[in-house]
Amino acid sequence: MARLSGLQRDVLSLYRKCLREIRNKPEVDIGTIRLRRDIYRAEFQKHLSVNKKDFSTIEYLLRKGHRQLELYATPGIRNIR
Amino acid sequence: MFRSAIARSLKASAPRVIKTPAPFHIRSSPIAARVPQFTPCFAQGVRLYSAPAGLSKTEAEGRIVNLLKNFDKVSDASKINGASHFSNDLGLDSLDTVEVVMAIEEEFSIEIPDKEADQIHSVEKAVEYILAQPDGM
């Protein structure tokens, strides 16, 4: 794999954070874990077509993703559909 | 009546007599051979704290290969071996690679920091990293 740019690494790190967050939620069975992983995955896949030079869009999406993840990570939220 | 009481007390004391010396004999001794029911449970199923805990290279590799076989996005399962590269051989993209690395973390109960996780692109690299970890299991 080619060396990743800083922005690409940020995206992967956000994805990693999302996956870690799944594990932090209580009472999960393997089916729910898969489902949540697919949800996060789909969210990232939606924007696969974004050009990697389109910095402002990627930065916007990153900010949006971080905010959304923060929301999901609050203990009051039990599940995502 | 007297005789039966003696017999009963003998019966009660007999196993105790055998039980106490049993743990001190190794299997090859004649007494341990006569009472085999004590030695196996003592010798097997117990992992001593002093036992070597290390992870062999083949074992780590086998566990990663098994994990990849269960991973549904691998394009060609026949290509999975100890030297496969995640994106070149198995057709995984960067997001899949992150997922694989996370699965490896769970499998070996370690946490890989982002910096190192970005460097892991092949089974070989992953094995190398895990063997370098003191607390991988």
Poorest-confidence range of A39-48, B42-51, B118-127?
Answer: B42-51
A8 touches chain B (CB under 8 A): yes
With CA atoms as reference, the chain B residue closest to A9 would be B118
Q: How far apart are CA B72 and CA B59, in angstroms?
A: 22
Tell me the pLDDT of chain B averaged across its residues.
Answer: 72
Poorest-confidence range of B17-31, B50-64, B75-89?
Answer: B17-31
| Contact yes or no for A4/B94 (Cβ under 8 A) | yes
A35 touches chain B (CB under 8 A): no
Does residue A54 lie within any of the structural domains? yes
A15 touches chain B (CB under 8 A): yes
Does residue A41 lie within any of the structural domains? yes
* Number of domains composing chain A: 1
Does residue A53 lie within any of the structural domains? yes
Q: How sure is the predictor about A56, in pLDDT bands with cuts at 50, 70 and 90?
A: very high
B136 Cβ neighbours under 8 A, 6+ residues apart: B55, B60, B108, B109, B110, B130
Does residue A79 lie within any of the structural domains? no
Does residue A56 lie within any of the structural domains? yes
Does residue A46 lie within any of the structural domains? yes
Residue bearing the bigger pLDDT, B82 or B15: B82
Which structural domain, as residue segments, surrounds residue A58? 12-22+30-73
- Domains in chain B: ranges and CATH: 57-132 (1.10.1200.10)
CA quadruple A39, B108, B92, B95: dihedral positive or negative?
positive
| Contact yes or no for B60/B137 (Cβ under 8 A) | no
Does residue A3 lie within any of the structural domains? no
Does residue A34 lie within any of the structural domains? yes
Task: Write the ipTM.
Answer: 0.80
Q: Given this model, what pLDDT does residue A67 score?
A: 94
Say whether pLDDT at B43 is over 80: no
How much is the pTM? 0.68
Tell me the pLDDT of chain A averaged across its residues.
Answer: 85
